[in-house]
Amino acid sequence: MVEDYKLVDVPVEQPLSMHPKKFALWLFIVTVVMIFAAFTSAHIVRQADGNWLVYDIPPMLWITSGIILTSSIFMQWAYIAAKRDKLEQVKLALSITTILGLVFLYGQFQAWGQLVDAGVFFVGNPAGSFMYVFTGIHAAHLISGVIYLLYMLISSFKYKVHAKNMLNMDMCTTYWHFLGGLWIYLFIFLLLNH
């Protein structure tokens, strides 16, 4: 008795102009925001209790922050280029964004090294542990962003990213900007509260 009817409808009227997939991405972003809201508020609550190790932010994080901001600029360039059907530029800009993403991850890892050199370890006073948790969990999300970028990069070399196929490009751009913005938030938070 169970069979497929027509599954694809051309909607007569879209209740919301945003594509459902992009809307779902925004909801996913909300969940990530909530995770970091929980971490940062835990950080504030714990810090208020006292017995808190004060240490210097690894200088590497300034550089990685710059890298992630630059990568967002290239991402935006790729997006605009795709919209204008300049496919060679899309490939170039996406490649640079991906490489910058990987460099950022490497930089974060170096920052951990600087922390260890400074005597701040994952195990020990929660002040240091929080630092590792923020950077680590953010890096985990950033890896998912890099995977998405690689997927877009492959699509772009198959000429599947162009003005008439912008949904994934649009979503990838949104996600990448979000990940950059999230890092900047975490970085400023750490600067103010370390």
- 3-state DSSP call for residue 183? helix
Least gap, CB of 123 to other proteins (angstroms): 5
Least gap, CB of 193 to other proteins (angstroms): 15
x-marked contacts with other proteins along 128-147 as a string, rule CB under 8 A: -x---x---x----------
**Residue 54 touching other proteins (CB under 8 A):** no
CA gap 132, 36 in Å, rounded: 13
Nearer to other proteins, 46 or 86 (CB): 46
Pinpoint the alpha helices (H) of 49-86: 60-83
Please report the sign of the dihedral spanned by the C-alpha atoms of residue 148, residue 151, residue 157, residue 163: negative
Contact status, residue 175 vs residue 29, Cβ threshold 8 Å: yes
**Residue 59 touching other proteins (CB under 8 A):** no
Least gap, CB of 158 to other proteins (angstroms): 21
Contact status, residue 133 vs residue 101, Cβ threshold 8 Å: no
- 3-state DSSP call for residue 171? helix
**Residue 46 touching other proteins (CB under 8 A):** yes
Nearer to other proteins, 49 or 88 (CB): 49
CA gap 139, 106 in Å, rounded: 10
Site for other proteins in 2-31 (CB under 8 A): 2-10, 12-16, 18, 20-21, 23-24, 27-28, 30-31
With residue 102 as reference, give the H or E element that holds it: helix 87-117
**Residue 110 touching other proteins (CB under 8 A):** no
**Residue 192 touching other proteins (CB under 8 A):** no
CA gap 79, 169 in Å, rounded: 7
Q: Interface with other proteins by CB under 8 A: which residues?
A: 1-10, 12-16, 18, 20-21, 23-24, 27-28, 30-32, 34-35, 37-39, 42, 45-46, 49, 51-52, 122-126, 129, 133, 137
